[in-house]
DNA sequence: CCGATGACCAAAC
DNA sequence: TGTTTGGCCATCG
Protein backbone atom coordinates (compact mmCIF):
# COMPACT_ATOMS: atom_id res chain seq x y z
CA UNK A 1 0.00 0.00 0.00
CA UNK A 2 0.99 3.52 -0.04
CA UNK A 3 3.56 3.70 -2.77
CA UNK A 4 5.15 6.58 -0.92
CA UNK A 5 7.12 6.17 2.27
CA UNK A 6 6.19 9.59 3.53
CA UNK A 7 2.53 8.70 3.63
CA UNK A 8 3.37 6.05 6.21
CA UNK A 9 4.98 8.51 8.57
CA UNK A 10 2.21 11.03 8.16
CA UNK A 11 -0.33 8.28 8.70
CA UNK A 12 1.38 7.16 11.90
CA UNK A 13 1.48 10.73 13.20
CA UNK A 14 -2.17 11.05 12.36
CA UNK A 15 -2.85 8.05 14.64
CA UNK A 16 -1.55 9.90 17.69
CA UNK A 17 -4.50 10.51 20.03
CA UNK A 18 -5.03 13.90 21.63
CA UNK A 19 -3.34 14.35 25.00
CA UNK A 20 -0.46 12.11 23.93
CA UNK A 21 2.83 12.67 22.18
CA UNK A 22 5.00 10.39 20.06
CA UNK A 23 8.69 10.48 19.21
CA UNK A 24 10.24 10.39 15.75
CA UNK A 25 11.76 7.02 16.52
CA UNK A 26 8.43 5.49 17.43
CA UNK A 27 6.77 6.72 14.28
CA UNK A 28 9.63 5.60 12.07
CA UNK A 29 9.57 2.21 13.76
CA UNK A 30 5.79 1.82 13.38
CA UNK A 31 6.17 2.73 9.75
CA UNK A 32 8.56 -0.19 9.38
CA UNK A 33 11.64 1.97 8.89
CA UNK A 34 13.49 2.22 12.24
CA UNK A 35 16.34 3.95 10.48
CA UNK A 36 14.24 6.72 9.02
CA UNK A 37 13.50 8.68 12.16
CA UNK A 38 15.28 11.51 10.44
CA UNK A 39 13.00 11.24 7.44
CA UNK A 40 10.05 11.65 9.80
CA UNK A 41 11.46 14.97 10.92
CA UNK A 42 11.99 15.98 7.32
CA UNK A 43 8.49 14.84 6.50
CA UNK A 44 6.91 17.03 9.16
CA UNK A 45 9.28 19.85 8.34
CA UNK A 46 8.34 19.85 4.69
CA UNK A 47 4.86 18.42 4.83
CA UNK A 48 2.26 21.15 4.61
CA UNK A 49 -0.65 18.89 5.47
CA UNK A 50 -2.81 20.54 8.20
CA UNK A 51 -4.35 17.13 8.91
CA UNK A 52 -1.10 16.08 10.51
CA UNK A 53 -0.75 17.05 14.18
CA UNK A 54 2.97 17.65 13.91
CA UNK A 55 2.76 19.42 17.27
CA UNK A 56 2.17 16.02 18.89
CA UNK A 57 5.52 14.85 17.62
CA UNK A 58 8.49 15.56 19.84
CA UNK A 59 12.09 14.42 20.02
CA UNK A 60 13.21 11.43 22.08
CA UNK A 61 13.70 13.58 25.18
CA UNK A 62 10.26 15.15 24.93
CA UNK A 63 11.77 18.46 23.87
CA UNK A 64 9.57 20.57 21.62
CA UNK A 65 10.97 21.55 18.25
CA UNK A 66 12.81 24.83 18.03
CA UNK A 67 11.72 25.28 14.44
CA UNK A 68 8.11 24.95 15.44
CA UNK A 69 8.56 27.53 18.15
CA UNK A 70 10.42 29.78 15.75
CA UNK A 71 7.42 29.89 13.47
CA UNK A 72 4.88 30.20 16.26
CA UNK A 73 6.37 30.90 19.70
CA UNK A 74 4.65 28.78 22.33
CA UNK A 75 2.17 27.33 19.86
CA UNK A 76 3.25 23.73 20.15
CA UNK A 77 3.27 23.70 23.93
CA UNK A 78 -0.05 25.54 24.02
CA UNK A 79 -1.67 22.96 21.76
CA UNK A 80 -0.29 20.05 23.75
CA UNK A 81 -1.32 21.52 27.08
CA UNK A 82 -4.76 22.25 25.62
CA UNK A 83 -5.05 18.55 24.84
CA UNK A 84 -4.00 17.51 28.31
CA UNK A 85 -0.30 16.88 27.79
CA UNK A 86 1.77 17.45 30.91
CA UNK A 87 4.96 19.47 30.72
CA UNK A 88 7.92 19.39 33.06
CA UNK A 89 9.54 22.43 34.68
CA UNK A 90 12.37 21.81 32.27
CA UNK A 91 10.06 22.73 29.40
CA UNK A 92 9.94 19.20 28.03
CA UNK A 93 6.94 16.88 27.69
CA UNK A 94 6.52 14.34 30.47
CA UNK A 95 7.05 11.25 28.34
CA UNK A 96 6.47 9.09 31.40
CA UNK A 97 2.88 10.34 31.41
CA UNK A 98 1.98 11.37 27.90
CA UNK A 99 4.13 9.20 25.67
CA UNK A 100 1.81 7.60 23.13
CA UNK A 101 1.73 3.80 23.29
CA UNK A 102 0.86 2.38 19.86
CA UNK A 103 -1.57 -0.52 20.12
CA UNK A 104 -0.17 -3.22 17.91
CA UNK A 105 -2.57 -5.88 19.19
CA UNK A 106 -5.52 -4.36 17.42
CA UNK A 107 -3.73 -4.82 14.16
CA UNK A 108 -2.85 -8.44 14.81
C1' DC B 1 14.00 22.81 -14.15
C1' DC B 2 17.55 21.52 -10.64
C1' DG B 3 20.20 21.53 -6.25
C1' DA B 4 20.34 21.85 -1.49
C1' DT B 5 18.14 21.85 2.79
C1' DG B 6 15.52 20.16 6.82
C1' DA B 7 12.44 19.27 13.45
C1' DC B 8 16.24 12.53 14.48
C1' DC B 9 17.31 7.92 16.29
C1' DA B 10 19.82 3.67 16.81
C1' DA B 11 23.51 0.64 15.99
C1' DA B 12 28.50 -0.24 15.44
C1' DC B 13 33.26 0.24 16.49
C1' DT C 1 32.29 2.55 27.80
C1' DG C 2 31.52 6.59 24.80
C1' DT C 3 31.45 8.70 20.36
C1' DT C 4 30.60 8.68 15.33
C1' DT C 5 28.31 7.37 11.22
C1' DG C 6 24.42 6.04 8.58
C1' DG C 7 19.74 6.58 6.34
C1' DC C 8 15.44 9.09 3.80
C1' DC C 9 11.70 12.15 1.19
C1' DA C 10 9.40 16.43 0.16
C1' DT C 11 9.54 21.38 -0.19
C1' DC C 12 11.94 25.82 -1.07
C1' DG C 13 14.59 29.36 -4.05
Nucleotide nearest to A5 (CA to C1'): C9
How far is it, in rounded angstroms, from Cα A15 to Cα A91? 24
- pTM for the whole thing? 0.89
Q: Which pLDDT tens digit goes with each residue over A22-57?
A: 999 999 998 888 888 999 998 898 888 888 999 999
Q: What is the pLDDT of residue A108?
A: 47
Q: What is the pLDDT of residue A104?
A: 60
DSSP A17: P
Q: What is the pLDDT of residue A92?
A: 92
Name the residue closest to C10, CA to C1': A46
Burial class (CB in 10 A: 0-12, 13-18, 19+), A40: buried
Q: Is the shortest CB-to-strand distance from A104 to strand C under 7 Å? A: no
Amino acid sequence: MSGGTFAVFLDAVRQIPAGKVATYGQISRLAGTPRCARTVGYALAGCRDPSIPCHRVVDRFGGTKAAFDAHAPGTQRALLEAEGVVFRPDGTVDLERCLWVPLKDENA
